[in-house]
Amino acid sequence: MRYERPDTMQAATALLAGAEAKSFVLAGGTDLLVRMQNDDFEADLIVDIKAISGMAKVTETDDGFVIGAGVPSVALFEDTALVAAWPGVVEAANLIGSTQIQGRCTIVGNLCNASPAADSVPALVAAGAVAQVAGPSGTRDVAVIDIPTGPGKTSLAKGEIIQAILLPKPNARTGDAYLRFIPRTEMDIAVVGVAVNLTLNEDGTVIAARVALGAVGPKVILVDTAAKAVIGSKLEDVVLQALSESCSAACTPINDKRGTVAFRTQVAGVLARRAAQTAYTRAGGK
């Protein structure tokens, strides 16, 4: 196994493009180092991207925020401007693993690991985040929802690395929230995850909405019917009921060791309602 720590993105993508089949990108390492303990794990090349400049920075721009691929979750929590703009994204990133894990893990790693249960991914999708993908022939922007294609699989081509996540500047009176269900209080994997992002007008009516579900299908699900259910409303009970039902209807879960189809479907609706209420309050609704 070869370990490389290049100092430019160009060198990193070139290493990966020229590598044998089993190559891995190392940022926080909270997934990779655990996998390396498995008897079945084999790697030819590990490319550590933390020495590349800009990887560990959150930059506020005119358009929004650029979050480098090496930024640990805890640093997002410490960025007051980001917390103010996208509290739901930050709270999702700070639910990953444990306090110790949050000191190392990154939202880009969470995305590229492509677990259907990733906590930060529904929040990023609800926020309309974009992944900035570097490759041997330059960079391209890809909507976060298009990165995972199924459990453990992404749309990234050989040699490509997500170098940053771009979050837009939220419109006025916008709020987001993420809730997940775990049987314990922490250090667990989402059985259901729901992110809601709402924008209100002056009188508190929802004028834009994005609702994303995690752990209830092979990849993150953006529920357009749920968004339609709340747009034009002030989250009255009947609207919340419709939101809840549309989220349950959008679920395509499986029975597994973490939960049943019935449980996941039912709880997705409950969490959607609760997350929407939090997002609504954060957006300034009353």
Tell me which residue has tokens 């030819």.
Answer: 44
Alpha-carbon distance 55 to 62, whole Å?
19
Q: Which of 20, 21, 39, 286 binds another protein (CB under 8 A)?
A: 39
Within the chain, strands assigned E span: 2-4, 23-26, 45-48, 58-60, 64-68, 130-135, 138-143, 148-150, 153-154, 161-168, 174-181, 192-200, 206-214, 221-222
Q: Which of 107, 215, 267, 276 binds another protein (CB under 8 A)?
A: 267
Q: Which is nearer to another protein, 97 or 148 (CB)?
A: 97
Q: Which of residues 157-186 bind another protein (CB under 8 A)?
A: 181, 183-186
**Interface with another protein, residue 254, by CB under 8 A:** no
Q: Which is nearer to another protein, 257 or 286 (CB)?
A: 257
Alpha-carbon distance 72 to 136, whole Å?
25
Q: Which is nearer to another protein, 36 or 207 (CB)?
A: 36
Q: Which residues contact 225 (CB under 8 A, 6 or more apart)?
A: 246, 249, 250
**Interface with another protein, residue 33, by CB under 8 A:** no
- Residue 187 CB, shortest distance to another protein, in Å, is 5
- C-alpha gyration radius of the chain: 19
Q: Which of 270, 277, 281, 284 binds another protein (CB under 8 A)?
A: 270
Q: Which of 164, 189, 247, 272 binds another protein (CB under 8 A)?
A: 189
Candidates 74-82, 148-156, 169-177, 257-265: pick the segment binding another protein (CB under 8 A).
Answer: 257-265
Distances (CA, A) of 224 to 13, 62, 213, 227, 243: 35, 28, 11, 5, 10
**Intra-chain end-to-end CA distance of the chain, in Å:** 57
> What angle is formed at CA 114 by the lines to CA 138 and CA 191, rounded to 5 degrees?
155
Q: Which of 104, 210, 258, 282 binds another protein (CB under 8 A)?
A: 258
Q: Which is nearer to another protein, 37 or 61 (CB)?
A: 37
**Interface with another protein, residue 201, by CB under 8 A:** no
- Residue 181 CB, shortest distance to another protein, in Å, is 6
**Interface with another protein, residue 259, by CB under 8 A:** yes
- Residue 261 CB, shortest distance to another protein, in Å, is 10
Q: Which of 150, 238, 182, 170 is nearest to 210 (CA)?
A: 170
Which residues contact another protein (rule: CB under 8 A)? 37, 39, 181, 183-189, 191, 256-260, 262-263, 266-267, 270-271
